[in-house]
Amino acid sequence: MKSLAWVAFSFALAAQGVSAQEFKFNLGVVLDPKHPVTLGMVRMAEVVEKQSGGKLKLEVFPSSQLGAQREMWQNVQAGLIGGIIDPTASLANFVPQFAVLDLPYLVDTPDKAFKLLESPVVEKELTALAAPAGFHVVRYWEITFRNVYSRAPVNSINDLKGRKIRVIPNPTFIALFRGLGAAPTPMAFGELYTALQQGVVDGAENDAITYFSTKHFEVAKNYALTNHLMLINTFVFSEKQWQRLPENLRTIFSKAAAEGSKLTMDDRRARDAKVLDDLRAAGVNVTRPDLKPFFEVGRRTWAESEARLGKDLIGKIAAAARN
């Protein structure tokens, strides 16, 4: 594995290019090389290089090779890494308003989620705020819905009481799991397998494909279908580096991102059709707890979020989600 220092140094050299019209950027992601997101990133890199005639090149570094999540975000912000695909829940640590998209049970299908993300409200109230913070939102890449997985079964909301559940370091995630009676435990994603294996945490939450792809099912063999939050994996680029690109390369970049995103979503749909069967075949206990108490707790956290996010912003996003 290349050291972060060497990768950053290589990026600094490559980003200068051999001429004013040639660029190379490193992209980071915490997910493994075979994850749908990573496969889509590789496709994007192939399309970018071909369509630009080699003037724009991207190198994808999966499995946290460029650092832990927060470290990568900081380096994207500084322009030391070209970009990252990661949840808006992580972007909320730099642009707090994005946390409104993490409200529990905000939408219940990917189609509704994308309709919300493409709305003028999200563009004005959220997307436009990324650039002043040092980020450029290239594309909302894919939508997933999260479920709880754990070392012991979760058959009802009561089974979460006192359980240490790893969550994304995000106040909305923390508030939800505190409301569910658990002990939310923020932790870098790359540390999670070992933490589950050693009992440092009792469980975590993620979509079924990521749970399977990362092999977390090996150390937490219970998967509860709670569907409590949507996660928006988003391709975010360094605003500093985006501004260096000429308009024609930005256009190629955006179109290539659309192709990469499509591959990710197509691959995910194919895997979604059989992932629960794959998990059961691997010895995972899949449970379906009553969602009514989860929904009630989740909606109560909306009111708690008003002090942090503002009642007006929550109202605008909720109204757009209903349309």
Whether 154 shows a pLDDT value over 60: the answer reads yes
Of residues 180 and 1, the one with the higher pLDDT is: 180
Strand partners, 142: 233
DSSP 219-258: T--EEEEEEEEEEEEEEEEEHHHHTTS-HHHHHHHHHHHH
- Enumerate the H helices of 129-274 as residue ranges: 171-179, 192-198, 208-213, 239-242, 247-272
The amino acid present at 39, given as its one-letter code, is L
How high is the pLDDT of residue 18? 39
Spatial distance between the Cα atoms of 16 and 62, rounded to a whole number of angstroms? 23
pLDDT digit string (tens) for 166-179? 999 999 999 999 99
pLDDT tens digit string along 297-323? 999 999 989 999 999 999 999 999 999
Distances (CA, A) of 43 to 39, 114, 148, 313: 6, 21, 30, 36
pLDDT of residue 100 exceeding 50, the answer is: yes
Per-residue pLDDT tens digits for 234-292: 999 999 999 999 999 999 999 999 999 999 999 999 999 999 999 999 999 999 999 99
Report pLDDT for 20: 56
What's the pLDDT score for residue 21? 82
102 in Cβ contact with 172 (< 8 Å): yes
70 — pLDDT class (breaks 50, 70, 90): very high
pLDDT over 50 at 39, yes or no: yes
Indicate the pairing of strand 135-150 with strand 164-167.
Answer: unpaired
pLDDT tens sequence across 183-201: 999 999 999 999 999 999 9
Half-sphere exposure of 115 (CA within 13 A, CB side): 13
Residue 216, Cβ neighbours under 10 Å: how many? Answer: 21
pLDDT at 221 over 50: yes
pLDDT over 90 (residue 13): no
pLDDT at 168: 93
- pTM, to two decimals: 0.91
Confidence of residue 12 (pLDDT cuts 50, 70, 90): very low
What letter does residue 314 receive in the DSSP assignment? Answer: H
Segment 95-102 shows an average pLDDT of 97
